[in-house]
Amino acid sequence: MSKKKIVIDPVTRIEGHLRIEVEIDENNVVKEARAAGQLFRGIEIILKGRDPRDAGLIAQRICGVCTNVHYRASVTAVENAYGIVPPPNAQIIRNLITLSLFVQDHIVHFYHLHSLDYVDIVSALEADVKKAEEVAVSYHDYPYRSSVGHFSSIKEKLTSFVKAGRLGLFANGYWGHDAYRLSPEENLILVNHYMEALRIQTTLSKAIAIFTGKTPHPQNLVVGGVTSVADMLNPQRLNDFIFIIKDVHDFIERAYIPDMKLLVNAYKEEMKSGVGRGSGNFMAAGSYMIRGEEKIFEDGVIFDHDFDGIEPFDEKHITEEMARSWYKSDSNDPYSEKTEPFYTDLNEDGTLKGEEKYSWIKSPRYRAKPMEVGPAARMIVGYLKDSKRIKPVLKSFMEETGMELIDLSSTIGRNVARAVEAKICSDAIFDFCSDLIENIKYYDEETWTKFDFDKLPKETQGCGIHEVPRGVLSHFVRIEEGKIANYQVIAPTTWNASPKGEKGKRGPYEESLIGIRLSDPSRPLEVLRVVHSFDPCIACAVHIVNTRGKSLSQYRISPV
Site residues (CB under 8 A) for another protein, limited to 172-211 = 172-174, 198-199, 201-202, 205-206, 208-211
| Closest-CA residue to 186 (of 177, 196, 194, 197) | 194
Map residue 47 onto helix, strand or coil.
helix
User: Residue 34 in contact with residue 18, Cβ under 8 Å?
Assistant: no
Restricting to residues 233-262, which ones interact with another protein according to CB under 8 A? 233
Restricting to residues 527-546, which ones interact with another protein according to CB under 8 A? 528, 539
User: Per-residue x/- mask for another protein, residues 117 to 156, rule CB under 8 A?
Assistant: ----x-------------------------------x--x
- Give the number of C-alpha atoms closer than 13 A to the C-alpha of residue 226, restricted to the C-beta side: 29
User: Per-residue x/- mask for another protein, residues 308 to 347, rule CB under 8 A?
Assistant: ---------------------------------x-x-xx-
Q: Angle 391-401/411-441 helices, nearest 10 degrees? A: 150
Cα–Cα distance, 385 to 545 (Å, whole number): 31
Q: Round to the nearest angstrom and report the end-to-end CA distance of the chain.
A: 43
Map residue 8 onto helix, strand or coil.
strand
User: Per-residue x/- mask for another protein, residues 355 to 374, rule CB under 8 A?
Assistant: --------------------
- What ranges make up the beta strands (E) of 412-550? 460-468, 471-480, 483-490
Residue placing its CB nearer to another protein in the complex, 64 or 280:
64
Restricting to residues 440-479, which ones interact with another protein according to CB under 8 A? 445-448, 450
> CB of 464: closest distance to another protein in angstroms?
18
> CB of 339: closest distance to another protein in angstroms?
12
Restricting to residues 284-303, which ones interact with another protein according to CB under 8 A? none
Q: How far is CA 352 from CA 271, 346, 356, 363, 542, in A?
A: 31, 5, 9, 17, 17
Restricting to residues 22-81, which ones interact with another protein according to CB under 8 A? 38-43, 45-46, 51, 53-54, 57-58, 61-65, 67
> CB of 16: closest distance to another protein in angstroms?
7
Residue placing its CB nearer to another protein in the complex, 300 or 499:
499
Choice from 145, 217, 272, 548 touching another protein (CB under 8 A): 217
Residue placing its CB nearer to another protein in the complex, 361 or 420:
361
Where b means 16+ CB within 10 Å and e means fewer, 189-207 reads bbbbbbebbeebbeebbeb
Alpha helix (H) residue ranges in 143-183: 148-164
Choice from 216, 274, 280, 515 touching another protein (CB under 8 A): 216
Q: How far is CA 56 from CA 62, 68, 123, 306, 401, in A?
A: 10, 10, 46, 38, 43
> CB of 111: closest distance to another protein in angstroms?
11
> CB of 255: closest distance to another protein in angstroms?
16
